[in-house]
């Protein structure tokens, strides 16, 4: 089959995917799986291999995503229910003033996105975005749009993110220069994203029903347990919980480049700086500092964290189905 025909099949698959989700409001998980199979068959992949591709694409994606999304959702939930997001948003609003809060959070997102994958960083920031939106009395998209824009841009063009690192390796480009040029590109882009998002947000953008319901219930436990606390966390404690995984990941990235490859120190730094370990450690620390130490029982803290997994499952499954679609495109 010619490259042009394969390209047309891929474009048709994307169009069919958008039609199913946007026009007919079908579940994205089902549409992704269905379109993936149709594209595979149209591209000439033998019918007996299609089911195997679905399994392989789902498993390969979830292997790297499920742990991060689950732990990130737990961390975000305990920050939310403990009152940490509200404390932080109130502190930032008082410090910068209501008109500068969005710019300040966009700047913080710029720094957060450098060492942390987009999905992990954004999941960590979602309760903060919700808290700021509640404090300012605005829809969360007004804050989340510029934050998401700059974080995604950095994920695409700034090392150590995998896409640009892989591209630099293929082209024989210098990673140091790729980092410098990527940051030089993203800094003005962050300013631009802030003002463009501000202009877009002049009109009311309706939220998806699921998002609206989640935002409306933000701050409620959803666990069926009364979660009285003896004291709310401080803003510095919440900031520490956000920075801890970032520092650990940066330690692994930067520290690993300063020691001999394959050495014991490099292996330890690689372990400590892996996103899964960094988030697991942070979740355990937040379990104690934001939960037990602040007045919850261990059981209550566990219920709060467990309540984050149900909505996270939707994100995980849709991401996995996206991996199936990507696998089909790669194989075809």
> Which pLDDT score is estimated for 279?
86
Note the pLDDT tens digit of each residue in 263-290.
999 899 989 988 889 889 999 999 999 9
**5-to-8, 37, 213, 325 alpha-carbon distances in Å:** 5, 17, 43, 17
Give a yes or no: residue 272 inside a domain. Answer: no
d(CA 23, CA 208): 14
Is residue 134 in some structural domain? yes
Query: Over 80: is that where the pLDDT of 162 sits?
Result: no
Structural domain contains residue 15: no
Question: Is 110 part of a structural domain of the chain?
Answer: yes
For 142, the domain range is 84-218
Within-domain flag for 56: no
- Judge whether 311 lies within some domain: no
| Statement: residue 33 has pLDDT above 90 | yes
In this model, does residue 137 exceed pLDDT 90?
A: no
Supply the pLDDT for residue 225. 42
**Based on the structure, what is the number of domains in the chain?**
1
User: How many residues are recorded in the chain?
Assistant: 332
Long-range contact set of residues 181-186: C-beta below 8 Å, sequence gap at least 24: 182/154, 182/157, 182/158, 183/114, 183/158, 185/153, 185/157, 186/110, 186/150, 186/153, 186/154, 186/157, 186/158
User: Which of the four pLDDT bands, split at 50, 70 and 90, describes residue 27?
Assistant: very high
115: exposed, middle or buried (C-beta count within 10 Å: 0-12, 13-18, 19+)?
buried
- pLDDT for residue 93 is more than 80: no
d(CA 94, CA 89): 9
202-220 pLDDT tens trace: 888 888 887 888 788 776 6
Predicted TM-score (pTM) of the model is 0.74
Residue 317 lies in a domain: no
Residue 115 domain-assigned (yes or no): yes
Q: Determine the pLDDT at residue 229.
A: 58
pLDDT at 12 over 90: yes
| pLDDT tens column, 184-208 | 999 999 899 889 988 998 888 888 8
The more confidently predicted of residues 127 and 10 is 10
| pLDDT at 44 > cutoff 90 | yes
| pLDDT at residue 133, as a whole number | 85
What's the pLDDT at 224? 44
């Amino acid at each position: 089959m010619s490259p042009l025909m394969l390209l047309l099949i891929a474009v048709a698959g994307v169009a069919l995917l958008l039609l199913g989700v946007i026009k007919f409001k079908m579940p994205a998980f089902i549409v992704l799986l269905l379109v993936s199979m149709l594209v595979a068959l149209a591209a000439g992949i033998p019918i007996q291999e299609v089911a195997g591709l679905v399994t392989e694409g789902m498993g390969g994606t979830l292997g790297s995503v499920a742990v991060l999304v689950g732990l990130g959702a737990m961390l975000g939930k305990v920050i939310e229910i403990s009152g940490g997001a509200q404390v932080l948003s109130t502190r930032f609003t008082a410090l910068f003033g209501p008109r500068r809060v969005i710019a300040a959070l966009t700047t913080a997102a710029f720094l957060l996105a450098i060492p942390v994958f987009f999905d992990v960083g954004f999941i960590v920031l979602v309760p903060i975005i919700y808290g700021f939106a509640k404090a300012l009395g605005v829809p969360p998209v007004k804050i989340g749009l510029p934050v998401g824009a700059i974080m995604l841009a950095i994920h695409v063009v700034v090392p150590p993110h995998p896409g640009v690192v892989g591209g630099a390796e293929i082209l024989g480009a210098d990673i140091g220069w790729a980092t410098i040029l990527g940051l030089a590109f993203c800094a003005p882009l962050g300013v631009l994203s802030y003002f463009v998002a501000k202009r877009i947000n002049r009109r009311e953008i309706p939220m998806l029903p699921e998002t609206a319901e989640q935002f409306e219930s933000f701050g409620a436990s959803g666990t069926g347990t009364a979660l009285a606390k003896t004291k709310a966390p401080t803003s510095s404690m919440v900031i520490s919980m956000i920075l801890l995984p970032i520092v650990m990941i940066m330690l692994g990235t930067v520290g690993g480049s300063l020691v001999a490859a394959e050495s014991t120190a490099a292996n330890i730094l690689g372990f400590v700086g892996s996103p899964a370990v960094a988030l697991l450690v942070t979740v355990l620390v937040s379990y104690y500092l934001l939960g037990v130490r602040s007045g919850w029982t261990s059981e209550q803290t566990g219920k709060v964290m467990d309540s984050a997994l149900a909505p996270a499952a939707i994100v995980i499954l849709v991401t996995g189905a996206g991996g199936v679609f990507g696998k089909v495109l790669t194989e075809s």
